[in-house]
Structure 1
Amino acid sequence: MKRIFGFGRKRKGQPPSGSASLPCPAGAYELRQKDLGKLHRAAASGDLAQVRQGVKKYGTDGRAKAERTALHLACANGHVDIVMYLVENKCKLNLFDNDNRSPLMKAVQCQQEKCVAILLEHGADPNLADADGNTALHLAVLSSNTTVAGLLLEHNANIDSQNKEGYTPLILAVSEHHEEIVEFLLRKGADVHARDQCERTPLMTAASGGELNLIKVLLQYGADVSQKDTNGWRAEDYAVIHGYSSLSKQLAEYADWENTGEASMGGGARGITALGTPHRAAAAGFTLGAPAVDRGAIDDFSQGDSIR
């Protein structure tokens, strides 16, 4: 996961321990003052007067180390007044830094909502992809920020865009266990049957983590328990492979219930009923709460597992 989303990558220009650096919020660039000219230092630190002078002398779109523009630095650090000034002075909105991230992506990554709104209102492209194929919406999912995700979707972000691993924002949200944003994306029309490069669905990903809340939500939105990946595995197989055999049994019985309308009433299927859901019946028998059963725990219905 770290490799896929670039978290483990050493950033160019990252300061060594003890070097003079500018303060920055989580997710922002780590900067050494000596790597920045006057304009970029002013944009990073929030000095609008110096930015004005720098723009008159150097223009709006000059590059600092690692191909960062003043707009990248202002967005990452949440300096709304500087972002507005640069935008009003016709800076280029969609330039990439060395990680192929636009200023909008940096604003999203650093959860600078006002900066995100300004950029989108002035035409920043929400569907550009970084070096790992992630769009701004993928980055919003990683932050579990529904407000930013909503802004992006209002400005025509592709809700089912895929990164290099084939992860859509929904698959990513499930893999990160972000229940709120999973429900948000499904309400907004995300494809519940999306597939990654190995043909894994969101339901398979949820089953591999024993995520009962997420499984129930996905079933409510019509997830198909019969779908198979490139290995021929279903969600129930992912559950048992990862140590959730009682969950696997319940998924199998739910599949029978879907196919026949009358799943076995014993064991894990007890209590499965039709609910009022957006698409079709869901499994009331999935107990809400923590993941199903720890991998090392005794997996037996008689032991009071989370699945009843």
Structure 2
Amino acid sequence: MDLRTAVFTAARDGKLQLLAQLLASKSKAEVAALTAEKTDGATPLLAAARSGHRATVEYLLDRCGAAIEACGAVSFDGETIEGAPPLWAASAAGHLDVVRALLDRGAAVNSTTVTNSTPLRAACFDGHLDVVRCLVEHRADLEVSNRHGHTCLMISCYKGHQDIARYLLEKGADVNRKSVKGNTALHDCAESGSLDIMKMLLNYSAKMEKDGYGMTPLLSASVTGHTNIVDFLTQHAQTSRTESISALELLGATFVDKKRDLLGALKYWKRAMDLRLGDQDDVIAKPAAPSLIMAYDYAKEVNSAEELENLIVDPDEMRMQALLIRERILGPSHPDTSYYIRYRGAVYADSGNFKRCINLWKYALDMQQENLDPLSPMTASSLLSFAELFSFMLQDRAKGLLGTTVTFDDLMTVLCRSILEIERAVKQTQCAPDQIQLSKALAIILHLVCLLEKIPCTPEQDHLKKQTIYSFLKLQPRGKNNFSPLHLAVDKNTTCVGRYPICEFPSLQVTAILVECGADVNVRDLDDNSPLHVAALNSHLDIMNLLIKSGSHFDTTNSHRQTAVDLLDEKELARNVIQPLNHTTLQCLAARALVSHRIRYKGQIPEKLESFVLLHR
């Protein structure tokens, strides 16, 4: 073990005598360097504070001059927190004596992590009331929020720490403060089921505000299934009859899809129906649906107590009621609406009803693309689920199951929707697309193309398929490392896009159709690798031959001045299959001669030839 690691380990484990011995013979500069070094992202002081070794913390600060604000990485409950100062780590772990020692030596009480979490928030998260009091007494700011706009009061409410919430309120915490997404501490109580804290907040004049999705705390409780909150708030003076009806209906939908309790759902739907009907002169009718939805099997919402009673004999109809209610109340932009449509589709798929699944997933996908930002992880998840489902349906083990035929239209619809997602991303002007999400979307498209190649099609369908791929290539999308679709098609890493295998890459079939549809075989990534270089790295000789026959320049070099042959496996067989002399043109030789002899050619030859010469650097 080297000295740096030994110092860190002694500090982390609180072995003060050993630490002092290790540093005793070192100069002031050496001690400063050793205590500033990080091991696993943390300094010795940060590790000692995290572990609660007060004497070690004091020694590092008083005798070694360790930097009291030096941030690093610490782990809590399996999660790594980046940019945490020692005071934050001690507060999060509940080490009051260490917190006091740090504050007495001038630690900044409102210092934050990378996500803008303060020591006070860290103490609130895990319910360390004594640490909270100490920090507030040292003028910790109650209202500093993290990057999501969540305050200390909000996290205390969400985690159910009533004593901390009460203390913060007594000290003047803003009970109606809103997060980035518009939720308040009341929403956090509703989502966690903390009824006693909710009552306390209301006594401090908390208001029933709507969040960014239009959700009140009551609706939030309905979505999460906290019946104690729903029962309390439906009787509250701030809640209207209409709001109570919506909450009870939504809670019933939650019982169907989340709790899988159909009788419980009926109980709450009956309460909602009783409120709707009320007195004969004061009926609150359900709004008429604009149209019946094929994905829901053209189901209609029930409008009478008799229709409601009849649902018990038709569980499938109850599940459609839940989807209809959720879409009406939450709206298509709420994530739960499309999530539970997808969930219901997955249940149908598990039971072998693939057609119902596909119809529901298509409906959810349309909803996501109309309401979510381009390349949303939720949309990407939907597209990937389609690819995995189609892959399973095309496998031998699925044969014999009813309704497992994958149609050309189904695959083409999803492929077009996937390409639409790319088009939305590359055409947005506000910001550049997220390269990781874009790469994933591109990989999913290539898997869909691969699956589509396994489906028999008519000449008209084949033309449509190629026309669609041509339009996709015209968008010129680039993923991580500036990979084009052709780069991805010849790279083995494209195989790993989801939890389950879909298609194997490199794929000769996918490469061939991309080339046929106009993919540039000489396109370059950030390292100046062409698809031919990537195919060589993946040792796929058939793809290399295809690319060369399609016009890929055989002897062009990447940024490391390597040709594709240089990247091939050293096996003699591979080099014998790809014969350089068979693919080297006089043009290429001339370009290489200009480069190797450093002959000035710029301005002396046409610009088109200049770019050709540059490929042979």
TM-score normalized by structure 1?
0.65
Separation in structure 1 between the aligned mates of residue 271 and residue 105 of structure 2, nearest angstrom: 59
Which residue of 132, 136, 142 maps to 2:148?
Answer: 132
- The offset of 1:183, in angstroms, is 2.4
- The offset of 1:51, in angstroms, is 1.4
Separation in structure 2 between the aligned mates of residue 187 and residue 55 of structure 1, nearest angstrom: 45
In structure 2, relative to structure 1, the CA distance for the partners of 1:118 and 1:146 (3 Å cut) is same
Query: Partner of 1:167: helix, strand, or coil?
Result: coil
Q: Which moved more, 1:38-47 or 1:104-113?
A: 38-47
Match of 1:177 in 2: 193
Write the letter of the residue equivalent to 1:194.
E
Match of 2:568 in 1: none
Match of 2:125 in 1: 109
Separation in structure 1 between the aligned mates of residue 222 and residue 316 of structure 2, nearest angstrom: 17
1:47 equivalent to 2:23? Answer no
Structure with more of its chain in helix, by fraction:
2
Preserved contact between residue 249 and residue 268 of structure 2 (Cα < 8 Å): no
Query: Partner of 1:35: helix, strand, or coil?
Result: coil
- The offset of 1:46, in angstroms, is 1.8
Superposed, 1:57-206 pairs within 5 Å as 57-65=65-73, 66-191=82-207, 193-206=208-221
Separation in structure 2 between the aligned mates of residue 42 and residue 209 of structure 1, nearest angstrom: 40
In structure 2, relative to structure 1, the CA distance for the partners of 1:254 and 1:187 (3 Å cut) is farther
Separation in structure 1 between the aligned mates of residue 94 and residue 210 of structure 2, nearest angstrom: 35
Identity %: 23
In structure 2, relative to structure 1, the CA distance for the partners of 1:112 and 1:211 (3 Å cut) is closer
1:35 equivalent to 2:41? Answer yes
What are structure 2's unaligned runs of at least 5 residues? 1-11, 14-37, 74-81, 257-264, 284-314, 319-617
Preserved contact between residue 193 and residue 228 of structure 2 (Cα < 8 Å): no
Cα deviation per residue 1:175-206 (whole Å; 9 max; x = unaligned)? Answer: 22222322232233221x21111221122223
In structure 2, relative to structure 1, the CA distance for the partners of 1:63 and 1:156 (3 Å cut) is same
Separation in structure 1 between the aligned mates of residue 163 and residue 317 of structure 2, nearest angstrom: 40
- The offset of 1:249, in angstroms, is 4.3
Separation in structure 2 between the aligned mates of residue 78 and residue 35 of structure 1, nearest angstrom: 21
Write the letter of the residue equivalent to 2:134.
I
What are structure 1's unaligned runs of at least 5 residues? 1-21, 24-31, 265-295, 300-308
- The offset of 1:38, in angstroms, is 2.2
Cα deviation per residue 1:227-284 (whole Å; 9 max; x = unaligned)? Answer: 67xxxx9435524544435424424644776xx8x989xxxxxxxxxxxxxxxxxxxx
Preserved contact between residue 120 and residue 135 of structure 2 (Cα < 8 Å): yes
In structure 2, relative to structure 1, the CA distance for the partners of 1:224 and 1:92 (3 Å cut) is same
Write the letter of the residue equivalent to 2:56.
Q
Preserved contact between residue 70 and residue 85 of structure 2 (Cα < 8 Å): yes
Preserved contact between residue 40 and residue 70 of structure 1 (Cα < 8 Å): yes
Preserved contact between residue 174 and residue 214 of structure 1 (Cα < 8 Å): yes
Write the letter of the residue equivalent to 2:72.
A
Q: Which moved more, 1:216-225 or 1:69-78?
A: 216-225
1:223 equivalent to 2:238? Answer yes
Q: Which moved more, 1:53-62 or 1:123-132?
A: 53-62
Separation in structure 1 between the aligned mates of residue 205 and residue 140 of structure 2, nearest angstrom: 23
Write the letter of the residue equivalent to 1:39.
L
Query: Partner of 1:67: helix, strand, or coil?
Result: strand
TM-score normalized by structure 2?
0.34
Preserved contact between residue 100 and residue 131 of structure 1 (Cα < 8 Å): yes
- The offset of 1:142, in angstroms, is 2.4
Cα deviation per residue 1:76-112 (whole Å; 9 max; x = unaligned)? Answer: 1111111112222222111111221111111111221
Separation in structure 2 between the aligned mates of residue 211 and residue 251 of structure 1, nearest angstrom: 16
In structure 2, relative to structure 1, the CA distance for the partners of 1:239 and 1:297 (3 Å cut) is farther
Preserved contact between residue 254 and residue 263 of structure 1 (Cα < 8 Å): no
RMSD, aligned CA: 3.5
- The offset of 1:226, in angstroms, is 4.8
Separation in structure 2 between the aligned mates of residue 297 and residue 245 of structure 1, nearest angstrom: 14
Separation in structure 1 between the aligned mates of residue 223 and residue 109 of structure 2, nearest angstrom: 40
In structure 2, relative to structure 1, the CA distance for the partners of 1:205 and 1:40 (3 Å cut) is closer
Query: Partner of 1:114: helix, strand, or coil?
Result: helix
